[in-house]
Every structure is written in structure tokens, then in C-alpha cells.
Amino acid sequence: MRPQRHIIASACSGIAIWVAGRNLLAGIILILGGVMPDIDHVLEFIIHKGIRGITVKKVYDAFSPGHDLPFEKLYLFLHSIELVILLWIASVFANNIYLTAFTAGYTLHLIMDAGGNNLSVNFYFFTWRIRKGFDINKLFEKVEKK
């Protein structure tokens, strides 16, 4: 999913939290949580291509719909349902509005990706990607319908 959509959705949600809860910082943190998972696209690019010559355009193009990924493996450490579950558990136990706001934004990001990208929901389980050896050919293989 294009980052602009994450920014818009997170900004709308963050503004709603700010207005409804009268907590500007919680709104800002929700926005950050909503865009932060895409940092792993930059990390992924650096892992495979190195930091020399990296540009926003190169990273954007590498992960844009319609482009073949220029790597053989795909980790995406932050696009993980397991991580979201851990964040929600931490939010419940910490009872902290800022951690909850961050987790809400993070969850919004993954929900948008899972619904907006043409991928199996399994793709967003890090353990599933581990089982597939992070191999892009296995991660993106088409499932035959019987």
C-alpha cells in the first residue's frame, strides 16, 4: 500500500483522538504508529542493496505495486501480526494512553495493508514468513483453488 494512504488514515485517526480526547500528544503518537511500520522497507532495502546510493525514490520504487522486488528474500520485520499482539498485551498491562495510541496506529497500518494489498493474510505473520524461508517466490506463490 502506498505510504500516502497510511499517512492520511493515521492523520485522520490522530486528529480524531486529539479532538475527542483533548490529547494532542496521543494523536501525534497514533500518527507515528500508523506510519512507522514502513520503516522496515528502508531497512529491507539496506539489507539487500546497502546504504550507498540509497534514495527515497529507489526505496519507494522497489516496493511500489507493479514492480518486481529486486531481492530474493523479504523479511519486513515490522509488518508482523505477532508484534501487534505483543504491543496490545503491553498496552493492556501498562495502561498507558501513549502506548495504546501507538499500538492503535500500528494496528491500523497492518489492517490497511492486509486489506489493501493483494496478499494472503498469512503474509503478515512473521512466523509464516520464517516457515517460507523469507523466499519471495514462496511468499508470493499463487494458491490454486480446488
What helix, strand, coil percent values describe the chain, rounded to 5? 70, 0, 30
Backbone angles phi, psi at 110, to 5 degrees: -70, -35
| Tens-digit pLDDT profile for residues 41-87 | 899 889 888 888 888 888 887 887 666 777 889 999 999 999 999 99
Q: Which residues of 109-118 are buried (b: 16+ CB within 10 A; e: fewer)?
A: bbebbbeeee
Contact 49, 70 (CB under 8 A): yes
Of the two residues 144 and 81, the one the predictor is more confident about is 81
Over residues 77-132, the pLDDT tens digits come to 999 999 999 999 999 999 999 999 999 999 999 999 888 887 888 899 999 999 99
